[in-house]
A and B are shown apart, each in its own frame.
Chain A
Amino acid sequence: MLFNAPHPAEVKVLTRRFGLENSHSLDCYLANDGYKAFLKAMEMTPDQVIDEIKASNLRGRGGAGFPTGMKWSFVPRQSPKPKYIVVNADESEPGTCKDRVLIENDPHQLIEGCLIAARCVDAHRGWIYIRGEYRYLIDIMDRAIEEAYKNGYLGKNIRGTGYDFDLSTHTGAGAYECGEESALLESLEGKRGVPRIRPPFPAVSGAFQCPTILNNVETYSAAPSILLMGGAKWAELGVPKAGGTKLTCLSGHINNPGVYELPLGFPVRRMIEEVGGGIRGGKKMKAFIPGGSSCPMLTGEEAWDLTMDYDAMAKAKTMLGSGGVVIMDEDTDMVKVALRIIRFYQHESCGWCIPCREGTLWLRKLITRLDAGMGSSTDISLVGELAKNMFGRTFCPLGDAAAMPIMSLIEKFRPEFEAKLAGVSVVSPELVRIA
């Protein structure tokens, strides 16, 4: 079972069953509040359930942070078309590994989250789109779904409530782009994962052109706890405009990497020093990514006094994103980091729109040259310019995701790019002295 030792500073709500024996089983889930929230939802009206989610200030945990209650209320319930529930488990944002632990340790929590969402919009069919590399998680999820069917928690007339709901997994096949909601829907329908033009948004025309709720694994997984503890109480765990906890994945040069459930608004300093056990080797932090590699990067100094929530990160001109925190120490070669990041986005660009397809390729070529110590100072400016011109001009957010880290790297770490041209690397003070 994949989870790290819990830390006392954690507020364990979604992860409260982790570590219990057979936490993935229906028995364990039922013995620990399992499916009570769904039965409660069945006694409420759909509007009451949505109001509870709205009161919780839950915001989408996939990266965009859109208020979940509002998203659910956009679905036209009176539409004669069937409504669908789709779970985005195409977790591929570099730095992010939280949906993995949620599915591995508590798959029934996700099933119950889907049931609650379904109840809100009168949906009777759902799919969990899981990235192909996570085959063992698809197996875990398939077994949990089978168990739920056998015991009457899925299928016809669920636990005597008269409500029907069918759910199945759907495997992806290796494409970062399919984490973007409209590309995911294309992929679900058996096509290439290219994004759709929006509007219409999935709430109105989603899977199979029917009204669809599409959220991240963590968002659905929060729903049962919100109904059980009450929206207002969940909201209190976080900060005014963003309620609850967030699964935060610490990775990079940190002593205790792992996935921790921290309340929104948790101070970065405590997160790194206390929860993460400090920077490896007692070194200084050079750079900080708050939520996956597509977020604009912060320098260590900029990050230390921030808090982990949507608004604080927006104020610092970056994003909370998916909760994939990547920490880089003083010895990190930032040109190499830039190159690795752009190689990823270039590889994953779907090729549908030109600014992204060409932009990521040219950025990759330029940064490869700079990393090799070739090129010129104008190339560095050109990288910044190219990224800036790509930003906001692509069909879907992948272009922005590629542009944002590169723009911030050039802006904040330009001397490192310049130093490479001079044939020295600023990562080693020794070499700088010799030069």
Chain B
Amino acid sequence: MTFSPELEARFVKLMSNYPQGRQRAALIPMLMYAQDEVGLVTQEVKEEVAKRCGVTPLQVDEVVGYYTMLRSQPMGKTHLQICTNISCMLRGGDKLWEQACHKLGIGHNQVTVDGTVSLEEVECIGACSWAPALQVNYDFRHQVTPEQLDVLIDELRRVG
């Protein structure tokens, strides 16, 4: 399997970051960056990364099964994560979550039928002092109001 030249360059750099013979250490970063490019951790990605890190595909499965951010299922074009943990909940994060579920007609870790948006109720994303917060893919949005969330979801559904 081939990756983009940028990702290949990143992998070479990653491999050099760890002591000789301990290249397994690059496994999680490689999976994360590969997922960014491919969209999910496919069987093909698993086998390729396993080969490069010198582990078995089963060992990759063990790791993928553990970490929330590594996904074997496709997500929407935009992945919307809403924090409902304590600091966000106290400032309306739970209401934002219900609003998003209702408006998109999907729940936790589900994708809209057209594949544009997926939704996740996320655990603390470290934005407690700027709550309620959410993430649009990797971008943070702070002190989100219900009106802003409405506009955001309309926009995501329109442009995908």
Which residues in A have some Cβ–Cβ distance to B below 8 Å?
2, 4, 82, 91-97, 99-100, 125, 127, 131-136, 168, 170-176, 187-193, 208, 249-253, 257-259, 289, 293, 324, 326, 328, 332, 336-337, 340-341, 344, 347-348, 350
Q: When the two chains form their complex, are residues A293 and B86 in contact, meaning their CB atoms are under 8 A apart?
A: yes
Q: Which of A133, A192, A252, A350 has the most CB of B within 10 A?
A: A133
B148 at the interface (CB under 8 A from A): no
Q: Are A95 and B63 in contact (CB under 8 A)?
A: no
Closest partner residue, chain A, to B19 (CB atom): A208
Chain A residues closer than 8 Å to B32, beta-carbon distance: 132, 171, 173
Asked if residues A190 and B25 are in contact (CB atoms below 8 Å), the reply is: yes
* Residues of B95-141 contacting chain A, CB below 8 A: 122-131, 135, 138-140
Q: How far does the alpha carbon of A94 sit from the alpha carbon of B126 in the complex, in Å?
A: 7
Distance, CA A193 to CA B19, complexed state (A): 20
Q: How far is the CB of B45 from chain A (nearest CB, A)?
A: 14
Q: Beta-carbon contacts of B49-64 to A below 8 Å, as 1s and 0s?
A: 0000101000000110
Contact of B124 among A4, A94, A168, A258 (CB under 8 A): A94
Who on chain B is nearest to A133 by CB? B125
Contact with A along B133-158 (1 / 0, CB 8 A): 00100111000000000000000000
A289 surroundings in chain B (CB, below 8 A): 86
> Are the CB atoms of B90 and A332 closer together than 8 Å?
yes
Can you report 8 A-B residue pairs in the complex whose CB atoms are below 8 A from each other?
A: A94-B124, A97-B128, A125-B19, A172-B28, A173-B31, A257-B130, A293-B85, A293-B86
Which one of B70, B85, B122, B126 has the highest number of Cβ atoms from chain A below 10 Å of its Cβ? B126
Whether A252 contacts B127 by the Cβ 8 Å rule is no
Residues of B within 8 A of A175 (CB): 66-68
Task: Find chain B residues with CB under 8 A from A328 CB.
Answer: 90
A293 to B129, CA, bound (A): 14
Shortest Cβ-Cβ A-B pairs, 5 listed: A174-B69, A174-B68, A190-B27, A173-B67, A251-B87
